[in-house]
Amino acid sequence: MKRFFNFLPAKVLTTAGLLLFSFFACKTPQPATGDQAPRMPFLWENANIYFLLTDRFNNGNRKNDVNFGRTAKTATLRGFMGGDIRGITKKIEEGYFDKLGITAIWFTPVVEQIHGFVDEGTGATYGFHGYWTKDWTRLDPNFGTEKDLAEMVEKAHRRGIRVILDVVINHTGPVTEQDPLWSGWARTGPQCEYKDYKSTIECTLVKNLPDIKTESWEPVSLPPFLVEKWKKEGRYEKEVAELDAFFKRTRYPRAPRFYIIKWLTDWVRKYGVDGYRCDTAKHIEESVWAEMRAEADLAFADWKKANPAKVLDNNGFYMVGEVYNYFIPAGRLYDFGDRKVDFFNNGFDALINFDLRTEAQNPSYEAIFSKYSNLLHGQLRNKSVLNYLASHDDGSPFDKARKKPIEAGTKLLLCPGASQVYYGDETNRPLDIPGTQGDATLRSFMNWDELAANAERNGFRTKDVLEHWQKLGRFRRAHVAVGAGVHKMLSEKPYLFQRKYVSDTFMDVVVVGLDWPTGKKEVDLRGAFPDGTELTDYYSGQKVTVKTGKVVLDTPFGIVLLGR
């Protein structure tokens, strides 16, 4: 069913119209109508996480665009395009993420990638995406330096934005003439059949990705090529001494997974990154993630102790897992066919939820929101999910044609659970690129040029779409009840619901109405706010006062965001 949304020109049809009110009982936050985050508690359960491909977001240093002779002609969108850590920092400095209400940035892996290219049947491809590791101890110069990473984390933290590092344990990069096999560490077969637990874990994801023997407890030596590389770079002795100290402290055997855990947690201890997004999580024994979590917690605590002035709050380290095809109705268990595994009980605070991209096709907001709230406050109590509508390797996004960007923003950012904004969701970046094969179509460079020109796609101006996502994102950032509160429908028509979050220290209540008329409207708050409460509309800037349990608004928008 099509609905009018008067935030855009009248000719534009959308499915969104919204009325939100909020109450914060302990300490009143600043209205989220400006660019800076309000002063209020941060909860990962309500996080608004921006996910970007490092190479495809923003080029902050053109001098590092070509390294290791990566100059071969590649298939469309399968080579390095110049995005880097410095490019992310520049957008942090510009306030781009603040205006969007982002509370955490997750960027694809930035460790050194294989130097050669491979063809997986989709054309010549370099490791621009970051998932083809050559050396876990060094950043890839295409992405930047350790100085760049330290600066990015520090500047994000100054704005209250957390940083999530994308980590890979499951596999190395493919073998090429320049990139030898991690002999003794990885298997090259059999290829996964996904019939049961073992055929999902002790196997290669695809034919050309060597699989780390994460199940092994047998000690291994450093690969000869890595020893040679470190010696050439003048850091062999330092790296070996650190490994010796790690294995002495932990008493772990020198098995492959423990080396990698050490190397990945070093980035936490050095720079204070706040969390991990764990790649291919179901393809590794769940106990490995518990081992990783223990070391990450220790590393994060060490960083906090060493940098007391830079600590944001008392939140612990965060881990969200990519258990491919995990759907929230499964609750805590993922079914391998012959075994059900509780990843939440093995180090994870949240799992990426593959359900919303299809569930969002349901025209009923209530069906979606009540379903998610019941699960999050039932089977998943004290845990969470990360919802998304588009991603880098999901060929079935909610709106691949980008015909429903307003509806997408409304459903994602108001859905219970944490939200993942995939770079360009907020600017209607195209997801169907001619000439591409496979997931390359999802990975075009960020459409900054279209944003600057306020280009139109499918009847939507880029800046109009961005403004919608910004206002909803800032509202979510300001009010934890949006993602972490308990959902309750108050009225079916006009649709009205409440979200309420209560802790030992504060309470946040949100009342939401969808498909309300533009112009003048009277909303019965159903006792959510006492008379005399002053509220600010986060969308229009209009201020109102609760009288006889109601508020009266007169705005040209079909969406109103009210908060105390």
CA Rg value for the chain:
24
Cα distance between residue 237 and residue 47, in whole Å: 41
CB under 8 Å to 306, separation ≥6 — which residues? none
The Cα–Cα gap between 263 and 346 comes to: 20
Catalytic residue among 279, 407, 515, 537: 279
Residue 314 burial (CB count, 10 A)? 7
How would you label 160-178 residue by residue, b for 16+ Cβ within 10 Å and e otherwise?
Answer: bbbbbbbbbbbbbbbbbee
CA dist 373 and 387 (Å) reads 13
Is the distance from CB of 373 to CB of 416 less than 8 angstroms?
yes
Say how many C-beta atoms besides its own lie within 10 A of residue 251's C-beta: 6
Structure tokens at 109: 């892996």
322 is catalytic: yes
Residue for token pair 């955490």: 104
Sign of the Cα torsion 10, 14, 15, 21 reads: negative
Angle at CA of residue 304, ends 302 and 306, nearest 5°: 70
Residue type at 470 in one-letter notation: Q
CA distance 495 to 487: 13
Question: Which one from 112, 322, 355, 508 is the annotated catalytic residue?
Answer: 322
Report residue 373 as tokens.
């709230």
Q: Read off the amino acid at residue 478.
A: A
Q: How many CB atoms lie within 10 A of CB 472?
A: 29
Residue 241 CB-density burial (10 A; 0-12 exposed, 13-18 middle, 19+ buried): exposed
The sign one gets for the Cα dihedral 437, 443, 446, 451 is: positive
3-4 and 13-14 beta bridge pairing: antiparallel
Instruction: Name the one residue in this structure whose structure tokens are 């109009």.
Output: 464
- CB-CB contact of 519 with 17 (8 Å): no
* Calpha distance 194→323 (Å, rounded): 13
| Distance linking the first and last C-alpha atoms of the chain | 33
Crossing angle between the packed helical segments 256-271 and 286-306, to the nearest 10 degrees: 30
Where does 212-279 have alpha helices with state H? 224-232, 236-250, 256-271
* Active-site residue set: 279, 322
